[in-house]
A and B are shown apart, each in its own frame.
Chain A
Amino acid sequence: EAGVTQFPSHSVIEKGQTVTLRCDPISGHDNLYWYRRVMGKEIKFLLHFVKESKQDESGMPNNRFLAERTGGTYSTLKVQPAELEDSGVYFCASSPGAAYNEQFFGPGTRLTVL
């Protein structure tokens, strides 16, 4: 069974540009999560999808971040325009059920904003 995949693995962009990160969850997992780890800090929750609906987006830093999950399958996280403080590793995770279940994580996308 394929795990959670994320694309790209690395992205280097200039401040002010737009970047779109993609996550493909494990097939059949209704729950999809985005997390972010800024350098030297802890991993922080960004948002949670149940199928195509946003269940909780309380961790999204600001309106420069837009997440979508088309048809309840893969998800994208767009940052527009990117700022220096957006640099970090963006993790995606999925789980088959929400309540306290193990979340399966992808390898992350390392975003560097110059």
Chain B
Amino acid sequence: AQKVTQAQTEISVVEKEDVTLDCVYETRDTTYYLFWYKQPPSGELVFLIRRNSFDEQNEISGRYSWNFQKSTSSFNFTITASQVVDSAVYFCARPLRGTASKLTFGTGTRLQVTL
């Protein structure tokens, strides 16, 4: 099976620190998509980003940035100047091989941002 691995189970940082959440994926495909979702305390999964394997440019959205490295099969997520509202569980995901929409998720990284 094509796994998505989030090795960091839990991370604690103090507000205003930068933090990087790691995601490593397995693939035998040349074309694939990767996703990040955020699960705040309210429970729903909130979509953050979708990345096509053809596009290796890093993406920045406000305090959020993503570093996509095909050579190491990684799609890491950095929050700059973290805030308490960033506290959540973050999931990396990709569609299972041969499917367009059947997502397989990592086990998630719980981020705790304190004052």
Surface stretch bound by B, among A14-22, A41-49, A70-78, A80-88: A41-49
A56→B91 CA distance, assembly (Å): 23
B60 within 8 A of A: no
CA distance A51 to B6 in the complex (A): 33
Considering the complex, give the chain B residue whose CB is closest to the CB of A102. Answer: B47
Q: Shortest distance in angstroms between A97's beta carbon and chain B's nearest beta carbon?
A: 9
Q: CB-CB contacts of A17-37 with B at 8 A, as 1s and 0s? A: 000000000000001010100
Q: How far is the CB of A53 from chain B (nearest CB, A)?
A: 14
Which of A33, A44, A104 is in CB contact (< 8 Å) with B101?
A33
Partner of A95, one of B44, B91, B101: B101
Closest residue on chain A to residue B91 by CB atoms: A43
List B contacts of A99 (CB < 8 A).
100-101
Please provide the chain A residues from 87 to 114 with a CB less than 8 Å away from any CB of chain B in the complex: 89, 91, 93, 95, 98-108
Bound CA–CA A46/B43 (angstroms): 19
CA distance A100 to B51 in the complex (A): 10
Tell which of B4, B46, B95 touches A100, judged by Cβ atoms closer than 8 Å: B95
Cross-interface CB contact of B99 among A31, A35, A56, A89, cutoff 8 Å: A56
Interface size on B, residues (CB 8 A): 26
> Is A103 within 8 A of B101, CB to CB?
yes
A3 touches B (CB below 8 Å): yes
Closest residue of chain B to A100 (Cβ to Cβ) is B33
The segment out of B13-21, B76-84, B103-111 that lies at the interface is: B103-111
B residues lining the A interface (CB < 8 Å): 4, 33, 35, 37, 42-47, 50, 52, 91, 93, 95-96, 99-108
Give 8 A-B contacts (CB < 8 Å), ordered by A residue: A3-B44, A4-B44, A45-B103, A98-B101, A99-B101, A100-B50, A105-B44, A105-B47
* Inter-chain pairs besides A100-B101, A102-B47, A105-B46, 16 sampled, C-beta below 8 Å: A3-B44, A31-B101, A42-B107, A43-B45, A43-B105, A44-B104, A45-B103, A48-B102, A56-B102, A89-B43, A91-B45, A99-B100, A106-B44, A107-B43, A107-B44, A108-B43
